[in-house]
Amino acid sequence: MTAIARSVTALNRLLFALAKWLVYAIVLLMLWEVLSRYMLASPTSWAPELAMLIFGPFFLLGGPYLLHLGGHVAVDILSEKATGRFATVLALIGYVLAAVFGAILLWFSVPLAMQSYSYGETSYSAWNPVIWPAKAFLPLASFLLMLQALAEIVLALRGEKV
């Protein structure tokens, strides 16, 4: 089980490492939009929307690995002072809640993503791109978050992390 937990963490680390480069694409898109709007007097209809569509996967793929790093916003008044077994129990409660949250989000996001794909949903803007690829990242990230929470439970029970 520990090997599987480490594999899940390695997968989320890899996806995070790849996703963090998307911020550079967003910066380039917005730079192009500003230059074309103010220097060329020819604003684009696609750059701001594409930046928004890229931001979703960037944001979502960082979440599962951030759970491993403990980088989410937390009120740790109690857990900061906890030690030993009590700290492990608090961590386990947090990981169980994260797994349940991921499962609920997965349960509700899969039908929405599938419906978006089957309808060929577009943004209905002037550019009008299909948006199901961006929507598909929500169930993927929810599944990865749930897996990472389960991996953290395994690691915490093994005494490898807290």
Phi, psi of 122 (to 5 degrees): -120, 175
Phi, psi of 140 (to 5 degrees): -60, -50
**Predicted confidence band of residue 154 (pLDDT cuts 50, 70, 90):** very high
Query: Lowest-confidence range among 18-22, 83-87, 88-92, 146-150?
Result: 83-87
Q: Could you tell me which residues are beta bridge partners of residue 130?
A: 122
Q: Average of pLDDT values for 61-66?
A: 90
- What span, in angstroms and rounded, lies between the C-alpha atoms of 19 and 10? 14
**Predicted confidence band of residue 75 (pLDDT cuts 50, 70, 90):** low
Higher-confidence residue: 160 or 136?
Answer: 136
Q: Average of pLDDT values for 89-98?
A: 90
Give me the residue spans of the domains in the chain.
2-157
Q: Average of pLDDT values for 73-93?
A: 78
Q: Which of 32, 17, 26, 33 is nearest to 55 (CA)?
A: 26
Measure Cα distances from 155 to 87, 95, 96, 116, 159 in Å: 14, 11, 13, 37, 6
**Predicted confidence band of residue 90 (pLDDT cuts 50, 70, 90):** confident
For the chain, the average pLDDT equals 90
* Chain centroid, CA 10 distance in Å: 15
Higher-confidence residue: 157 or 77?
Answer: 157
Evaluate whether 8 touches 148 at the Cβ level (below 8 Å): yes
pLDDT tens by residue, 100-134: 999 999 999 999 999 999 999 999 888 999 999 99
Residue 162 scores a pLDDT above 80: no
The pLDDT value recorded for residue 73 is 66
Q: Which of 49, 45, 25 is nearest to 37 (CA)?
A: 45
DSSP 6-32: HHHHHHHHHHHHHHTTHHHHHHHHHHH
